[in-house]
Structure 1
Amino acid sequence: MASTMPLHLALLLYLLVSPAAAGACAGEKFPAGKTYETCEDLPKLGASLHWTYDASKNTLSMAFVAAPAASNGWVAWGLNPTGEGMAGAQALVALKGSGSSALTVKTYNITGYVPLGGASTPIAFPATDLAADAGSGGKIRLYSKLQLHKGMKAVNHVWQVGSSVTGGAPDKHAFGADNLASKSKLVLAGKAPASSPAPAPAPEAGSGGSDSGAASQVAPSAGKSASAAAAAGVSAPALLALALVGFLAMV
């Protein structure tokens, strides 16, 4: 007859399948009709990215979730197909509309370290289904569907938060350590690259815009939400297999 499962083994199995082990992003509840196959807790600014990539149509349906630096601030996320920092980023910015409390989403082709205007500019990836709403804990959730380039499997992505908006345009964000490290590689298909991208040069003193700064030290996973076990360098399936072997050896 099988013996009772030891407490430490039961705890390990619980941790492997619990939402907390799967990452905070897995607990995000979106409005009806908005579901995503993959999510990633981003390493800086308490942000997360949720997405579904359709390789047959080269489309990326996404939701970016982050808290602005202040209640009347903004959040931004973008892809950079030509570099690793702000310059070249094709950005989506969610902020409150001018004279309104409603959230709106604007697109910006960020060409350099200059202030952004109040009007959207065309971006390299045609964007549809642009929307934003308020999430829990003061967070803003930014939604879009992007038409990517054919065959794109991985691309640099950047994200940022700011504290204020003037004339419908996002004001300059802070240049703290997390702000300058809010970038990484988004892997849509295949495996993540072995090394992290090199740091981007810091912006010139007094410059504005939405720079995402130096390189992140954490590369995102190409699979489902990253688990605590993966963060420790051991995959959840491997730990689960070890746990089951240990359990079977005790019955």
Structure 2
Amino acid sequence: MASATQQQQHRRAMAVVLAVLLTAMPMRAASGGCEGDKFPAGRSYAHCAALPKLGARLHWTHDARTGSLSVAFVARPAGAGGAGWAAWAINPAGDGMKGAQALVAFRPSPAAPYAVNTYNITGYKPFGASSTAIAFRPTELAADDVAAAGEVRLYGKLQLAPGTEVVNHLWQVGSAVTAGAPAKHAFDKDNLEAKGKLALSGAALAPAPAPAAAGAGGSSAAKGSSAGGATTPSGAKPSPAKAAAAAPVLMLLALAVGFIATV
């Protein structure tokens, strides 16, 4: 049996371990994912996901019966000091940029408030300064910024077909606005892979399998394509990276159990 002195030492050590746990766990929760995003009063969403590219997050609420989809997209524009633009889109025709129905948040001029334009992306050409009509009726379009984080929050509601369950979605950031219109974005790996499938119910989707390598007779389109990953919403099975991030907390828990067992 442990002496009174040993028990007192164990209790002190246990108090230290618990203090570290209480500090570490909220920090882990806030350091990644989408749950820490805050929105103005009156804006709340049923689901959220940390998107796998460009450090972006998506929050949404979907009414499957009516087809109404409310979204909040959060991303850091690529320009210095938060300059540039951020965009989120649904593509009903495929998983690439062509055919995407986009919402784009940007400042038309440096002193102007944020605006949200809609664009039906029919080809690889620059955006104009004015919106173009898109396939999904947009309402409640707005945007604001989180100055401390250099991020833009894009809000909107889209009218999808009732019963829609899964959509192809894309997201993007750019570094400049020229003549009142978003300028072209970079073509780095993360930019080209900023796409995936989104389950509107909030359920996790298995990543799509990578396309088979084209043989000697394969098409050039297959060789040039890249597979986008599925979006994992909040509450789904954690990724290996998140599991690794939680390892120190689990180790501390194991230490705590050990201390309790020896008291």
Aligned to 1:143: 155
RMSD: 3.5
Counting only pairs closer than 5 Å after superposition, residues 8-157 of structure 1 correspond to structure 2 as 18=26, 20-21=28-29, 23-70=32-79, 71-98=82-109, 100-135=111-146, 136-157=148-169
Offset, 1:154? 0.3
Q: Secondary structure at the match of 2:35?
A: helix
Displacement after TM superposition at 1:225 (Å): 6.9
Determine helix, strand or coil for the equivalent of 1:85.
coil
Alignment correspondent of 1:188: 200
8 Å CA contact 2:203, 2:236 repeated in 1: no
Residues 198/55 of structure 1: CA separation in 2 closer, same or farther (3 Å cut):
same
Distance 1:21 1:225 in 2: 14
The aligned amino acid for 2:200 is: L
Q: What is the rounded CA distance, in whole Å, between the counterparts of 1:168 and 1:181 in structure 2?
A: 27
Q: Match of 2:130, as an amino acid? A: A
Contact 1:45 1:179 (8 Å CA) reproduced = yes
Q: CA deviation at 1:127?
A: 0.7
State the alpha-carbon separation in 2 of the partners of residues 190 and 105 from structure 1. 25
Change (3 A) 1:190 1:170: closer
Amino acid paired to 2:55: G
Q: Which residue of 1 aligns with 2:185?
A: 173
Structure 2 counterpart SS, 1:26: coil
TM-score of the aligned structures, taking structure 2 as reference length: 0.73
* Aligned partner of residue 149 in structure 2, secondary structure: helix
Matches of 1:84 and 1:92, distance apart in 2? 16
Give the 4+ runs in structure 1 shifted more than 4 A: 4-15, 190-193, 197-202, 225-233
- Secondary structure in 2 aligned to 1:81? coil
2:33 and 2:234 in contact (8 A); partners too:
no
Shift in alpha-carbon separation, 1:160–1:226, aligned structure 2, 3 A: farther
Which moved further from structure 2: 84-93 or 223-232? 223-232
The CA distance in 1 between the partners of 2:127 and 2:177, in whole Å, is: 11
Deviation at 1:6, TM superposition (A): 11
Q: Which runs of 5+ in 2 are unaligned?
A: 1-10, 212-219, 245-249
Which of structures 1 and 2 has the bigger CA Rg? 2
Partner of 2:172: 160
* Cα distance between partner residues in 2 of 1:224 and 1:104: 32
Secondary structure at the aligned position of 1:27 is classed as: coil
For residues 27-47 of structure 1, what are the alpha-carbon distances to aligned partners after superposition, in whole Å with 9 as ceiling and x for unaligned? 111001011111101111110
Give distance in 1, aligned partners of 2:170 and 2:53: 10
| Separation of aligned partners in 1, 2:237 and 2:107 | 31
TM-score with structure 1 setting the length: 0.76
Flag structure 1 segments of 5+ consecutive residues without an equivalent: 205-212, 234-238
Residues 204-230 of structure 1 deviation map (CA, whole Å, 9 limit, x = unaligned): 9xxxxxxxx84334x212554774679
Question: What amino acid is the match of 1:141?
Answer: R
2:8 maps to none
Count of matched residue pairs:
231
Deviation of residue 150 (structure 1)?
1.7
State whether residues 46 and 59 of structure 2, in contact with CA within 8 Å, keep that contact through their aligned partners in structure 1: yes
Partner of 1:207: none
Measure the CA separation in 2 of the matches of 1:64 and 1:85.
Answer: 19
